[in-house]
Amino acid sequence: MSTPAEEVFVALADPTRWRVLSLLAERGEGTATSLAAELPVSRVAVVKHLAVLDRAGLVEARREGREVRYTVRTEPLGEAARWMAAIAAQWDARLVAIKRLAEES
């Protein structure tokens, strides 16, 4: 069971994806082509990373002629998302602790 907050964390856990997002944040906007020019990965790879970021709600795509321009969406971030992910991780740890105690002979 993954929550939207977790999707955000999964999206950010990949270093290249994080660089894609950081570049977008710094530049204000970008296309797969402009981002690929600044990163050591192919345009196709950037397109895939943008799709993951899009699913997590971290970028917004806007079609302009033949190009798709991306901007960063900050709403999924912030304290709230951090809390949610941290809390989910805490519950996982607690459930595992209960399981261990329960299964001790």
- φ, ψ for residue 65, nearest 5 deg: 65, -125
State yes or no: residue 79 binds another protein (CB under 8 A): yes
Question: Which residue pairs, CB below 8 angstroms and at least 24 apart, start in 31-34?
Answer: 31/67, 31/68, 31/69, 31/70, 32/68, 32/70, 33/67
Provide the minimum distance between the beta carbon of 65 and another protein in the complex, in angstroms, as a whole number. 26
Among 20, 21, 46, 53, binds another protein (CB under 8 A): 21
Residue 33 beta carbon to another protein: minimum distance, rounded to whole angstroms:
22
Q: Which is nearer to another protein, 1 or 44 (CB)?
A: 1
If the CB atoms of residues 67 and 75 are measured against another protein, the closer one turns out to be 75
Q: Say whether 74 sits in a helix, a strand or coil.
A: coil
